[in-house]
Chains A and B, each alone.
Chain A
Amino acid sequence: MSGILIIAEQRRGELRPGTLELVTAAQGVRRSGQKVAVALIAESPQALVPAVSVAGVDEIVTVKVAVREFDPDVIEAAVQALIEARQPSLVLLSHSIDAFGYAAAVAARHGYGFASDVFGLEFQDDALLATRGGYGQKVSIEVDFPGKPVVLLAIRGNVYKPPEGTATPAVSSLAAPPVKSRVRSVEFVEPPASDDVDMTAAEFILSIGRGIGEEANVQKFRALADKLGATLGCSRPIADAGWLPKSRQVGQSGKTASACKLYIAMGISGAIQHLAGMKHIGTVIAINSDAAASIFSIARYGVVADIFEMADALEEQYS
């Protein structure tokens, strides 16, 4: 029986955290006897073997490539070679920024079944079903892949927990196909560290979005956050406008609020890229004047109110 192939993701020689979540995702749809293999495509793949030797992984396949960092041409050719060599029925990868740059290319070029930002997976009557969101996450959409012997899925992060426990999977290698690179890595540039806050460690975040209207209003919410004992965060437009440093941005390309237990979103409509950074939080309170805002689809508690009036009322009543 053809197996499940997981494409590990690395950056600067380190495994990205989403990879291990894919191992757990694979367990949920693995049929009896079906093997789970993890592919390590890297300049020094051997160094990553211990990081993916976790429970649930049967095999590791290393593909040594000539580039150290992400190169879409190199990774697409390697994934294609892996698929041809191993004939998996299912290929899983993280719905990451790197995947934005290559997953659809592999699928489109070879006609594989494909869906991205998948957060649910199951087999029903022998058909693989994947669930993803639609219309700003207000609906769920179940898709299937009729007539597709190979299906490639990009899985949303922070949905599956990484497995506990280690394993000693068999390690084999596959030669990387020759590739002419057309995209070259130049350098990494760290975001300016203009602020010493660590959003990933904050347990209680009060986040503000476009609804605050103008920069002068940031202070009002900073004061409220201080009073409530919350760390002040923001959505992308606030950071893009320079009203708060990038280090305060929660979302897909901002910080994932990974330690957060309580999140208050004020004036944030809940665009997809923001939801990606806070959807997993246990208690989310959304305060927005627009009752149709997407944020109400994922929040546990919703308040339709003017955020300025609400800020005043919270200031006044909290002691």
Chain B
Amino acid sequence: MKILVAIKQVAALDEDFEIRADGKDVEAQFLLRDLNEWDDFSLEEAMRIKEAWSGTPVEVVVVSVAPAEADETLRKCLAKGADRAIRVWDPDVEGSDPIAIARVLAAVARREAPELLLAGAQSSDHAFAATGIATAALLDWPHAAVLTQLTYNPGARSARFRRELEGGLLHEMAIDLPAVLTIQLGINTPRYASLRAIKLAAAKPIEVLTLSDLSVPASAVGEAGSLSHVRRMYVPEKGRAQMIEGSVEEQARRVIEIIREAAGGAA
């Protein structure tokens, strides 16, 4: 019994940052890396299924398609209770869009043959909301997105879930397994890893695979395997609010002026 959890190490920008000379991304030194918030909920959901089950043990395996710097994030997942971690990397993967990443994840899923593949509904950095569902299509597995409730007994041939629609409406559905499910924030409350678990995780191995280990051709990833191509990245003109400076009292005075102006305009 196995649950595979797709993990992304996302990047946030520092207050000040610079666009790379080729104009296609931000200089790496300005990127602050962390576990994608949605993936934290996916991992927690897998852990809950594992811990609530008294039958054949459930193995939780985390996988990330990323260079070595993502090991830190995978160790965080091991500290939270994942049984194994896999990281796939190859220089050819550089420049991949979410669909090219999905080709690699699909190859890992074929090898691991889990009952469930959980992924975040989206990532906080580029928010494509595509990787998990693209992986399902490449595997030809049933799939569903944006889950806020999941009921699954390991070994069962189907699972029940609720997905959260616009306006908070919930849609209850049933799905055949194996399946790919993408997880929304709030489905559970992710745990923190204990200091002891963090120490133990530091010594746990991370299995590192290359494309050839998975028989994924180089043409399936990188720019060649992507469905979009970045032309340029830029800071939009309206990209920064007009900042209100001064003491808190001065700032409050200006905010009140703006409230009054807006109220006048609305009347």
Contacts and interface: CB of A to CB of B under 8 A. Distances in A.
Interface of A: 11, 16, 69-70, 72-73, 76, 95-98, 100-109, 111-117, 129-130, 133-136, 138-146, 148, 182-191, 203-204, 228-229, 236-237, 239-240, 246-247, 249, 252-256, 261-262, 264, 271-273, 282-287, 291-292, 296-306, 309-310, 313-314, 316-318
Interface in B1-55: 11-15, 17, 19, 26, 37
A305 B251 contact: yes
Interface of B: 11-15, 17, 19, 26, 37, 97-99, 102, 121-122, 124-131, 133-138, 142-146, 160, 162-176, 179, 182, 184-186, 227-236, 239-244, 248-249, 251-253, 255-256, 258-259, 262-263, 265-266
Contacts of A292: 12-15
B15 A136 contact: no
27 contacts: A100-B121, A100-B145, A101-B144, A104-B131, A105-B136, A107-B99, A107-B130, A108-B133, A109-B137, A114-B228, A117-B129, A145-B228, A183-B174, A185-B173, A190-B169, A204-B262, A246-B168, A252-B166, A253-B166, A254-B168, A262-B266, A286-B241, A297-B236, A301-B241, A301-B255, A314-B252, A314-B255
A45 B111 CA distance: 42
Contact of A186 (B126, B169, B173, B243): B173
Nearest to A246: B168
B168 A114 contact: no
Given A104-B99, A188-B169, A134 B233 contact: yes
A112 B166 contact: no
B231 A142 contact: yes
Nearest to A272: B127
Contacts of A228: 259
| B interface: dominant SS | mixed
B164 A97 contact: yes
Contacts of A318: 256, 259
Given A97-B146, A129-B231, A252-B166, A306 B248 contact: yes
Which of B135, B145, B162, B172: most chain A CB closer than 10 A? Answer: B145
A107 to B, nearest CB: 6
A100 B146 contact: yes
A229 B160 CA distance: 43
Contacts of B243: 296, 301-304
Which of A105, A252, A317: most chain B CB closer than 10 A? Answer: A105
B263 A204 contact: yes
A188 B172 contact: yes
B248 A183 contact: no
B244 A145 contact: no
A281 B108 CA distance: 43
Contact of A262 (B128, B231, B262): B262
Given A139-B235, A145-B229, A204-B263, A101 B143 contact: yes
